[in-house]
Amino acid sequence: MLVPLTVDEQATGACRRAAAEGGIVTWCLSSIEIASAIERRAREGALDTSGRADALANLDLLSQGWTEVAAMAAVRERAQRVLAVHALRAADALQLAAALVAANDRPVGHEFFCADGCLAAAAAREGFTFGSL
């Protein structure tokens, strides 16, 4: 749910409120995923040149304020376990694994925000509370 913090979408207001309340902890490659979403929107014509530049500037500001999980060995280890337990794509498994690392493998009491139903269900099964927007 980070893309709506860079481009105006229906969920932007709710995402901003959630980010302001608890801050953002994300994995170290989130900025690449967000940049991919911005560039896809630009290619599809949903963002003009100015909108693309604004979104990339927003991403830069956003990434300066979040906490990144960069312990890739620990994330990789957990992602492999998560893939054996949940039907997730690789990138989703890495995001969930990074959240587990950030929560010191104690997800109870931590909120997990995402827009993907399968990832949200897997996070809930791991013990995270689904952060509603």
What integer pLDDT is reported at residue 22 of this predicted model? 78
DSSP per residue, 10-28? TTHHHHHHHHHHH--EEET
Average pLDDT per block of 10 residues along the chain, 133 residues long: 92 88 90 96 97 97 94 97 97 96 96 91 95 65
81 DSSP assignment:
H
103 DSSP assignment:
T
What integer pLDDT is reported at residue 132 of this predicted model? 62
Q: Using an 8 Å Cβ cutoff, are 30 and 107 in contact? A: no
What integer pLDDT is reported at residue 14 of this predicted model? 87
What integer pLDDT is reported at residue 104 of this predicted model? 97
The residue among 50, 21, 54, 28 whose CA lies nearest residue 133 is: 21
What integer pLDDT is reported at residue 107 of this predicted model? 97
Domain ranges of the chain: 3-68, 72-130
